[in-house]
Amino acid sequence: MKDETLAKILKVALIVGGISAVAPMVSAQGIGVRELQKMMVPTPQKIERGETLYEQNCAACHGEKGQGMANVKLADAPGKTFQTTDLTEANYRYGGGPLQVYNAITYGLEEAVAGQQPAADAQAPAAQQPTTQAPPHPKFQHLPYQSRWDIVHYVRSLGPTGEMTDPTAVVEKARERAVKGVCDEEIKASIADKVAPKGQEQLDKGAELYAQQCVSCHGEKGAGDGPAAGALQPPPRNFVGAKREDYTNSPSPLGIFNTLQQGIEGTSMASYANLSEDELWALTHYTLSIVPDDVEIEAGEEQIVDACRALSAPEKPEAIPVDVAMKALIKDQVEERVIRLTEYGAPRINPAADPQAGQDLYVENCVSCHGVAGAGRLKGPYGAQPPYFYMKIDRLVPAMAGGSTEEFAERSYAGVHATLPSMTPASMLSKKEWRDLHAYVATFDGEGKDQVIVESPEATDQGATPEGAPAAGEGQGQQPAPQQPADQQGQQQPAEQQPAGGAPQGTPDQ
């Protein structure tokens, strides 16, 4: 019930003019864990965009090449100068993991820096004030969250950040923000102020409004016995006798305000959106003064924060023309492919697999669409009768066989093979055939060839993460790619993500 109420509160804010101003459309509220995971993948496209954004927003303090600068003055720290971080050496004082860098760009470093700045000498001129390594980093929340992630990946590309990861607490906080959104402190303060009664003058105004608007149904004392009550089904709320669980919306300031603003669908409780916001709050607090103390719910910290997160959400963007959207989708396919292959991880080949047997399977079942050695080919028209479907089959590369044999097989038979007629019956292959086919696809040329590993028999038997050894003749000395969290693995992929086994890729090369 609380979530439904808070969702309506957001509508209240937009209709009434807001419990407070809505945050700009850049704050990445509730983008979801999946979107967060995509943002964290450093693609060449993000790094390229990030370079331009860095030049526009960061170079003035960190230098054109990220080498850091001395004696930097900031508006937020008058009378002080700073030595900014040398990004080329990755000398991050407060962590260089991708989320930590994003947090510095988005939320600043005020909390980290507090209490650690050298004391200024009030008698010394500004030029002689101490230089520190920890300036109060500005917040770049005016940029869309996607742009901030582009800057993150460009900045990290300037120095040796490969081993820099985020602490567990930082990751958990980022996931929580991705799911729930972020509460803007100004909005929170505004909500907390409004849910608190303002005194007798506000209650008197509420009593006046109640007599004008509510008595006919709810009665003079709020017992649900007004002159019109007998004709209403369901009957009007009895504020003095109803139990807490009887309320459609909670008997709290936010719940009553929402009821007055929106009404209750399917009942005679109408919306009073014609009243001003101050009038609605006056009527809210007077109504709550009728409700028994043991039934009323105070607007606690958790409820205020939840409402704040809803009100801090970005505005819904305007619709764009279909042709513009299609062009954007086509352009994004290249980057989406990089993200997808990265998430698959390194191809992990079963030690019992036979690539030669896999080649025989491939020739028998897959070559007609995917071409010799996964070279790809144009195929069309596809289908026995119009309208024909023309497909372009992308080249298969080892990275498309990323992950275990089970993950490779699931992506194959649960994808386009299951949606197009006359496709190879991929789901009918045995476990051994999938192992062999997986091993053969991993021998192709292209992305991921230097990451192929053969699982150790012990790891295969126990289902553990393999220590691994390079595939025969492939990528000697290479280490397996970092494994993705469990919730990123085994997901069904869109049709254009198909690996080997007879499926078309479905998207044109860019």
Q: Where are the alpha helices (DSSP H) in 158-266?
A: 168-180, 185-194, 200-213, 215-218, 253-262
d(CA 218, CA 211): 10
Residues 124 and 206 in one domain: no
The one-letter amino acid code at 40 reads: M
Residue 54 has pLDDT above 90, yes or no: yes
Alpha carbon of 151 to those of 54, 99, 409: distances in Å?
6, 12, 36
Co-location of 451 and 345 in the same domain: yes
pLDDT digits (tens, 9 = 90+) for 85-117: 899 998 887 788 999 999 889 888 653 433 344
Which of 147, 176, 205 is the last residue before a domain boundary?
176
Residues 464-496: tens digit of each pLDDT: 433 333 343 333 333 333 333 333 333 333 333
Residue 510 placed within a domain: no
The span from the first CA to the last CA of the chain, in angstroms, equals: 48
In terms of domains, do 153 and 297 share one?
A: no
The pLDDT score that the predictor gives to residue 504 is: 34
- 53 pLDDT exceeds 50? yes
Q: What is the largest CA-CA distance in the chain?
A: 90
Per residue, the 3-state secondary structure of 10-55, as one string, reads HHHHHHHCCCCCCCCCCCCCCCCHHHHHHHCCCCHHHHHHHHHHHH
CA-nearest of 150, 194, 175 to 45 is 150
Sign of the alpha-carbon dihedral angle for 113, 115, 117, 123: positive
Residue 185 lies in a domain: no
- Name the residue with tokens 């280490």: 479
Asked if 300 and 343 sit in the same domain, the reply is no
Query: Is beta strand 389-392 parallel, antiparallel or unpaired with respect to 378-382?
Result: antiparallel
136 confidence band (pLDDT: 50, 70, 90)? low
Q: How confident is the model at residue 389 (pLDDT cuts 50, 70, 90)?
A: low
Our count of domains for the chain comes to: 3
Q: Which one is predicted more confidently, 468 or 289? A: 289
Cβ neighbours of residue 164 under 8 Å, at least 6 residues apart?
Answer: 90, 92, 95, 96, 97, 156
What are the beta bridge partners of residue 72?
82
Q: Please classify residue 316 by burial: count the beta carbons closer than 10 Å to its beta carbon, then call 0-12 exposed, 13-18 middle and 19+ buried.
A: exposed
Same domain for 65 and 112, yes or no, is yes
Average pLDDT, the chain: 76
Give residues with Cβ within 8 angstroms of 296, minimum separation 6. Answer: 251, 252, 288
Q: Which residue among 151, 176, 201 closes a domain?
A: 176
Q: Are residues 208 and 170 in the same domain?
A: no
Copy the structure tokens of residue 274.
Answer: 């014609």
Q: pLDDT tens-digit profile of 147-165? A: 999 999 999 999 998 889 9
Read off the pLDDT of each residue in 312-321 and give the average, rounded to a whole number. 68
pTM of the model: 0.53
Q: Is the peptide bond before 387 cis (omega within 30 degrees of 0)?
A: yes
**What's the whole-number mean pLDDT along residues 303-320?**
71
15 inside domain: no
Q: Residue 138: how many CB atoms within 10 A of its CB?
A: 16
Instruction: Return the structure tokens found at 391.
Output: 């497909």
Q: Which H or E element spans position 65?
A: none
Task: Show which of 311, 341, 356 is a domain's final residue.
Answer: 311
Question: Do 291 and 333 have their domain in common?
Answer: no
Cis link prior to 234 (omega < 30° from 0)? yes
Quote the pLDDT of residue 459: 59
List all residues 6 or more positions away from 297 whose beta carbon is below 8 Å from its beta carbon.
Answer: 244, 250, 251, 252, 255
350 shares its domain with 492? yes
DSSP 320-389: --HHHHHHHHHHHHHHHHHHHHHHH-SBEE-TT--HHHHHHHHHHHTHHHH-GGG---EEEEESSSSSPE
Range from 23-37, 190-204, 384-398 carrying the lowest mean pLDDT: 23-37
Same domain as 147, residue 198: no
Which residues form the domain of 275? 192-311
d(CA 38, CA 418) in angstroms, rounded, equals 26
Residues 45 and 132 in one domain: yes
For the chain, give the number of residues.
510
- Are 254 and 169 in the same domain? no
273: CATH: 1.10.760.10
Pairing of strands 389-392, 453-454: unpaired
265 CB-contact burial (10 Å; exposed 0-12 / middle 13-18 / buried 19+): exposed
Closest CA to 120 of 110, 130, 112: 130
What distance in Å separates the CA atoms of residue 397 and residue 446, rounded to the nearest whole number?
5
Q: Is residue 136 part of a domain?
A: yes
Alpha-carbon distance 52 to 377, whole Å? 36
Q: Please, is 337 exposed, middle or buried when counting C-beta atoms within 10 Å of its C-beta (0-12, 13-18, 19+)?
A: buried
Residue 12 forms part of a structural domain: no
